[in-house]
Amino acid sequence: MSPRPSPLPDPRPVLVTGAAGFIGYHVAEALLARGERVLGVDNLNAYYDPALKEERLARLSASPGFVFERLDLAEPAATAALFAAHKPRRVIHLAAQAGVRWSVSHPEDFVTANLVAFLQVLEGCRAIGVDHLVYASSSSVYGDQARQPLQEASGADHPLSLYAATKRCNELMAHSYAHLFGLPSTGLRYFSVYGPYGRPDMAVYLFAEAMRNRRPIQLFNHGDMVRDFTYVDDVVAGTLAALDHPPAPGPEDDDPARSAAPFRVYNLGGGSPRPLVDLVDALERALGVTAIRELVGPQPADVRETRADVSRLADAVGYAPSVPLEEGVRRFAAWYLSRPNP
């Protein structure tokens, strides 16, 4: 008997929304590196300088396995047409309006980008029978809880910002589609992601810019903050591992992070929380610049402390963060200093 021929690779792409964004770019790059076809989508909005988004996109577009569509996912007809034309087999939904503090002054942006657009993605997944939807949630859904570390079974019903509220809504919306239509979905609660090609409004980038230009950096809550900083390579590894393990229906219990439906929610953090001042100290060493520290009061939408319990993701998919803060900051600083006119 002649041997069976090897199965042909699935020609359907993985859809990565927000592919020109920080995490989306790194996830798309990793998918391409392992031989996947990637369909990237982004609206290239001007929340921060689109030039950085264009730079990320240009790097991805150098790969023959990458196809890009510029569109606003909040537009029902355009999003439906995207799914119908490309029929992605799996979806990593990272497109969103980010920024806890921005959500205080621009709430409409978050309703459109994080709720309306997510609904259209869910509808697209339902229409073509997507194998697995992985989407970005956030550690901010926990609010400001005194009990640490944060666990998926902890309450997530008192968000401090509209951004956090929209991310919690995404989890609830995904569960309804998992229950009603059997759509396997996994939500990842990201914790303080940083690294090369990061957003200019994030703490690591903001501090580096200010320090390099001899401007003071503002440490809110007088610097008394703790964050579970997570290097972007660890985030990518956890995201792809989750993608490769779609949830199956399970027994019903009272745990809000799992369900009888094919639905799961996991923390994805570094697992080694550090005081904010440790980040500043690491940046000083990596950049060779002493920071001018300005201690200011708390911001109403900020939480004081985040500590991620990542044991569930470790048990489910083997997630094991490997980049400590000092090494991650060194890698970020090397990228930052290599850029023109830093």
Which residues is 70 bridged to in the sheet?
42
- Read off the amino acid at residue 98: A
Helix (H) or strand (E) holding 285: helix 276-287
How many Å apart are CA 42 and CA 54, to the nearest integer? 10
- Read off the amino acid at residue 191: F
How many Å apart are CA 117 and CA 119, to the nearest integer? 5
- Read off the amino acid at residue 32: L
Number of H helices, E strands in the chain: 12, 13
How many Å apart are CA 42 and CA 22, to the nearest integer? 12
Of 130, 238, 139, the closest CA to residue 174 belongs to: 130
- What are the tokens at 231? 């290097």
Of 106, 135, 286, the closest CA to residue 204 belongs to: 286
Inter-residue contact 183 to 133 (CB < 8 Å): yes
Active site residues: 163
Inter-residue contact 231 to 194 (CB < 8 Å): yes
- What are the tokens at 242? 């989750």
- Give 259-262's long-range contacts (Cβ < 8 A, gap of 24+): 259/175, 259/178, 259/179, 260/179, 261/175, 261/178, 261/179, 261/182, 262/178, 262/182, 262/183, 262/184, 262/185
Of 117, 72, 94, the closest CA to residue 17 belongs to: 94
